Structure 1
């Protein structure tokens, strides 16, 4: 019992330290490449300091780290088992009567805890920092503005009005519900403000539609500042430079929303009329991460526990790369199928982790029996 407890701590500590080292190496490489790319983009703009570029690279790191976590788990486990084999420690463990599951369990428990820590702590922090990164990117590198905000009260949209952006007022549009098929808004309110934020007009309409650079409001009631009686129009047309594509792209990406905020945002999207499939897949994929991390341990074990002639360093690295690529490809492919409504959300999000886990268990059982 004492031997088993000591062994568990030893294996867990070795794996955890190797994983930290692997993450440090991967983070350094990714940060270098991201910073070079940001410097290239910043070179096309005037007045962007180097300190801002370096800060943007750091803001993006936690989110990139979540993508790298499965690979870090896989290669850390491969390296840990390779060390144990090279020092003949696995031989001693097996000679002591411990099964493969007994010395895999502490490593799998560490990966499970890392997965839980990732989705509950690292993900919210990464989402917050990524949101700041995208704000800086839009402001300094791409000059894009966020036009749309989605709240419990419905859809809020802002656009400038006037001949030029430097001498214009703005329009605030609110809708309770939206039909994405035709981009038709329902129960619409539009507020008009001058450049000095002085209210000048309000329009209430049953429906509004965006089509070919024009907002059209049906059965509209117009109230202008200083007028006592509202005016009723069967149709009001309002020119806009916004396009449907720009509006769709201005929504927050799933990665900028924390694990804790996703359920509420999904509910808000559904009540407003938006398709929540991509958001639900992202949320379920986060829930599946602890299982995926444990599956990576099993896959690493299937490679490391093979006969000695298959355990060369180059072979381990090559097989690790192949396994990582296959898991990544399978995850991306199934999530794409789910986003296009070809398969259910649960299958799209959980299948990669479940398939990988079951494959690892099957192979290890065969090796153990052999």
Structure 2
């Protein structure tokens, strides 16, 4: 028993060092190509200096690392197990009565640790830095800006409205403009605002027209708003202009983030943001898919580690080692393609979000376990 634990720890150290080396090499290679692409885009921008390009490329490094981790585990694991097989260390271990399941426990725990740290630690860091990189990219390398560009003209929002009905719904539309003249620098202002207040059964309760609507802390403020009460006999009869306040959970950052990539949101902030997004009428499919993908990352990392073992522990004297390693790399990239296809199907609603996020990890894990059972137990 002590021999198995010692051997498992030894294999785990070899596995971890190989994965870290591959992770650094692959991240550096991808970062180099990204840096060259940023330089090409900055060549036509007079205000985008070399320092800005370096800053953007550096801020994107954790995001690239997060994308590369599964492949680093696969390739690093293949390299580590192949070296152990080539030096006959695994052959000696098996001759001593230690099964593959015994010395694979350590690498499996290391892979789970890599996946877990990627989800709970690297992902929040990646999202924060990527958000800054996107802002710099938008300011210096792209002609885009603000909610107006993202919304394409009029902005439509949906949220809960309990002022008239306990389960009521409010739909607010308007043309995004600069903040109001009240001094609220972070406020969002909608010109030519229209507000529809609906019951649970989507029955119209009231329509409100206002010259503008300003989003303040926890509320929308509509000045000089004219209310058309749909519950009265004459729906065209308007009430005198008045100031209307509508409670809300929205903020300008949350509205703009709803149009941004889910990669710019922290793993810890995603559940609350998804709830606010859906209650406001936005589609949260991309964000839920991203959240489930981050949850499945430790399982995917474990699957990659087991795949690396199953394709690289063949004894060198049997021959065909290069072919087996090539098949292992091909299996890893097949999982990558499956992940992309499942993600596209999940975003379009063809597949449930949970299935689309967990299918690649589950498929890789089952394939690896099948290969190892065949290799170990025949």
What is the TM-score when the length of structure 2 is the normalising length? Answer: 0.76
Which stretch of the first structure deviates more once superposed, 193-202 or 127-136? 193-202
Which stretch of the first structure deviates more once superposed, 139-148 or 194-203? 194-203
Which stretch of the first structure deviates more once superposed, 59-68 or 297-306? 297-306
How many angstroms does 1:315 deviate by? 3.1
> Which residue of structure 1 aligns with residue 14 of structure 2?
14
CA displacement, residues 25-79 of structure 1 (integer Å, 9 cap, x when unaligned): 1111111101100000000111322121111111111111111111000011101
How many angstroms does 1:205 deviate by? 3.1
Whole-Å Cα distance in 2 between the matches of residues 368 and 192 of structure 1? 66
Question: Between Structure 1 and Structure 2, how many residues are aligned?
Answer: 324
Distance 1:187 1:345, change over 3 A: same
How many angstroms does 1:231 deviate by? 6.2
- Asked if 1 retains the 8 angstrom alpha-carbon contact of 2:146 and 2:256, the reply is no
CA displacement, residues 225-248 of structure 1 (integer Å, 9 cap, x when unaligned): xxx97667979xxxxxxxxxxx99
Whole-Å Cα distance in 2 between the matches of residues 129 and 10 of structure 1? 35
Where in structure 2 are there 5+ consecutive unaligned residues? 161-169, 198-206, 214-222, 229-235, 239-254
Distance 1:201 1:18, change over 3 A: closer
CA displacement, residues 93-146 of structure 1 (integer Å, 9 cap, x when unaligned): 101101111111100000001111110000000000100010000000002112
> Which residue of structure 2 aligns with residue 48 of structure 1?
48
> Which residue of structure 1 aligns with residue 274 of structure 2?
266
> Which residue of structure 1 aligns with residue 328 of structure 2?
320
Whole-Å Cα distance in 2 between the matches of residues 71 and 223 of structure 1? 51
Whole-Å Cα distance in 2 between the matches of residues 8 and 94 of structure 1? 12
Residue among 197, 220, 225 paired with 2:209:
220
Residue among 166, 170, 177 paired with 2:159:
177
Distance 1:310 1:54, change over 3 A: farther
Matched, 1:336 2:321: no
Provide the alpha-carbon RMSD of the alignment. 3.6
Where in structure 1 are there 5+ consecutive unaligned residues? 150-155, 160-170, 179-184, 209-217, 236-246
What is the TM-score when the length of structure 1 is the normalising length? Answer: 0.77
Whole-Å Cα distance in 1 between the matches of residues 340 and 176 of structure 2? 42
Distance 1:189 1:342, change over 3 A: closer
- Asked if 2 retains the 8 angstrom alpha-carbon contact of 1:146 and 1:250, the reply is no
Whole-Å Cα distance in 2 between the matches of residues 337 and 291 of structure 1? 21
- 1:244-283 pair list within 5 angstroms: 251-283=259-291
Residue among 186, 191, 200 paired with 2:171:
186
Distance 1:189 1:104, change over 3 A: same
Distance 1:286 1:98, change over 3 A: same
Distance 1:121 1:232, change over 3 A: closer
- Asked if 2 retains the 8 angstrom alpha-carbon contact of 1:222 and 1:232, the reply is no
How many angstroms does 1:310 deviate by? 4.8
